[in-house]
Amino acid sequence: MQSLRRLDKNKNIKNTKILLRVDFNVPRNSEGVTDATKIIKVKEIIINFIKRGAIVILCSHLGRPQVKGKEGFSLAPIKIAAEKIIEAEIAFIEKDFKKNIEEGIKENKKIFLLENLRFDIGEEKDSDEFAKTLASLCDIYINEAFSCSHRKHASIHGITKFVDSYAGETIQEELVALNSIVSDTQKPITCIIGGSKISTKIDLINNLLPKIDFMIIGGAMANNFIKYNNYEVGQSKIEENINSTIKNILQQAESNNCKLILPTDVVTAKTFEEKGINKTLDEVEKDDMILDIGQETTNQIILVLKQSRTIFWNGPLGFFEKDSFAKGTNQISLNIAELTQEKKLISIAGGGDTFAAIKKSKKEKNFTYISTAGGAFLEWLEGKILPGLKVLEIKN
């Protein structure tokens, strides 16, 4: 296992400004946060630093504002949820970070949250300029966002060049848990990939194929495969220009003797408010959206689960936030939980939304392990060294 730099638990941190990179990119809807697991995870760490007299500056990204625009991506609503969880006041810093934090400290404020880091163009570019701006805010930087450590971004990667930097407790815990479980995995190994981050995750599929026996693809990820096989996908979420990637995956699966399982039926609707209809692939119409896997597909996946000894799962199999489209994800969650409890399966799931979906099915306690990391979990599984962890390694 990688050895990462840790902050001495007994170090005097009184009045030390600690910049804590957290992952507050939480599942949410128009009313607020729908699953606060990622915030709860760092609660005790924040409280402990405050008790030791430190000043905590929280920073995180939220969504993809550089692609979709800033509207709806402010961390202001997340601050309100975080204050309730941490049971302490958090000062929200929208701009002029340094000046406003210094003023806040004079007013005896102890916890700050910066506005969405991705509002600054330098964050995703890993620009030295933005990394320096962030570094200038603190005496110590700590990464508590394993789930973001696959991103070579300024708040994860670049910043470590400019300030004393450490891996936080949650990163250590996550690595210890994942390493101990994964070193004990048995074949057949099945990977389930769903969700909606097609562009981020599709390339990972190829690298995982040689390591596993079954690859199940669902969620919006499956829509591109369905389209590639010349079926109508109507208004479904898809990614453009990835036919060659799909062709490659199909070839790789065959040459690695990995069985690829794609939906044979789906649940569609014309609006998100409808109930949804179970359709075979050739029944999908031009104005339909594919929003869940169908019952025949679910049954087929359950058969694969029963033949497996290890399951890795990232990405809900449908638009699970709406009950009408949560059935596929729910049934898979219930079956994995049951097989795990019967000791027939080791089950490891990852992803903020996957965690929320499993929680919705009330089975989060019955999996072997669930990580809040999605893309980072898959990259770690591939055996990649995550850039955000690489820069925190202890050098001999």
Q: Which residues bind ligand 3PG (CB under 6 A)?
A: 23, 25, 64, 147-148, 151, 197, 200, 352, 374-375
Query: Which is closer to Mg ion, CB of 18 or CB of 291?
Result: 291
The smaller minimum CB distance to ligand ADP, of residues 122 and 352, is found at 352
Q: How far apart are CA 337 and CA 351, in angstroms?
A: 17
Q: Which stretch binds Mg ion (CB under 5 A): 243-251, 309-317, 335-343, 347-355?
A: 347-355
- Partner from ligand ADP, ligand 3PG, Mg ion, none binding residue 60, C-beta < 5-8 Å depending on class: none
Of 93-101, 250-258, 312-320, 332-340: span binding ligand ADP (CB under 6 A): 312-320
- Beta strands (DSSP E) in 77-188 are 91-93, 111-114, 140-143, 164-167
For residue 289, give every residue at least 6 positions away whose Cβ sits within 8 Å of its Cβ, in sequence order, or none.
234, 235, 236, 237, 268, 269, 270, 272
Q: Return the structure tokens found at 391.
A: 């820069």
316 binds Mg ion (CB under 5 A): no
- Maximum distance among all alpha carbons in the chain? 66
Among 127, 196, 207, 324, binds ligand ADP (CB under 6 A): 196
Give the residue nearest to Mg ion (CB): 353
151 is in the binding site of which of ligand ADP, ligand 3PG, Mg ion, none (Cβ under 5 to 8 A by kind)? ligand 3PG
Cis peptide upstream of residue 188 (ω within 30 degrees of 0): yes
Distance CA 287, CA 342 (A): 43
316 binds, among Mg ion, ligand ADP, ligand 3PG, none (CB under 5 to 8 A by kind): ligand ADP
Tell me the number of residues near ligand ADP by CB under 6 A: 21
User: Residue 144 or residue 379: which is nearer to ligand ADP going by CB?
Assistant: 379
- Given ligand 3PG, Mg ion, ligand ADP, none, residue 158, with its beta carbon under 5 to 8 Å by kind, binds none
CA–CA dist 281, 362 (Å, integer): 31
Q: Which does 23 bind (CB under 5 to 8 A by kind): ligand 3PG, ligand ADP, Mg ion, none?
A: ligand 3PG
d(CA 194, CA 223): 10
- Nearest distance from C-beta of residue 26 to ligand ADP, angstroms: 10
The number of CA neighbours under 13 Å toward the Cβ of 224 is 23
Contact 130, 158 (CB under 8 A): yes
Binds Mg ion (CB under 5 A): choice among 213, 239, 353, 379? 353
The interface with ligand ADP within residues 227-246 (CB under 6 A) comprises 237
Beta strands in 31-186, from DSSP E residues, in sequence order: 32-33, 55-59, 91-93, 111-114, 140-143, 164-167
Residue 21 burial (CB < 10 Å; 0-12/13-18/19+)? buried
- Contact region for Mg ion (CB under 5 A) — 52-60, 144-152, 301-309, 351-359? 351-359
Stretch that binds Mg ion, among 2-10, 151-159, 242-250, 353-361 (CB under 5 A): 353-361
**Which of ligand 3PG, Mg ion, ligand ADP, none sits in contact with 318, Cβ below 5 to 8 A by type?**
ligand ADP
Residue 219 binds: one of Mg ion, ligand ADP, ligand 3PG, none (C-beta under 5 to 8 A by kind): ligand ADP
From the list ligand ADP, ligand 3PG, Mg ion, none, pick the one residue 360 interacts with, judged by a Cβ distance below 5 to 8 Å according to partner type: none
C-alpha torsion 44→4→141→144, nearest 10: -40
390 forms part of the interface with ligand ADP (CB under 6 A): no
318 binds Mg ion (CB under 5 A): no
In the three-class reduction of DSSP (H, G, I as helix; E, B as strand; rest coil), residue 141 is classed as strand
220 is an interface residue for ligand ADP by CB under 6 A: yes
Task: Tell me if 352 contacts Mg ion by CB under 5 A.
Answer: yes
DSSP tag of 394: P
Closest CA to 263 of 204, 228, 223, 232: 223
Smallest gap from Cβ 373 to ligand ADP, in A, equals: 8
Burial of 106 (0-12, 13-18, 19+ CB in 10 A): exposed
Pairing between strand 189-193 and 214-217? parallel
321 binds ligand ADP (CB under 6 A): yes
The footprint of ligand ADP (CB under 6 A) covers 194-197, 219-220, 237, 290-291, 314-316, 318-321, 351-354, 374
The footprint of Mg ion (CB under 5 A) covers 352-353
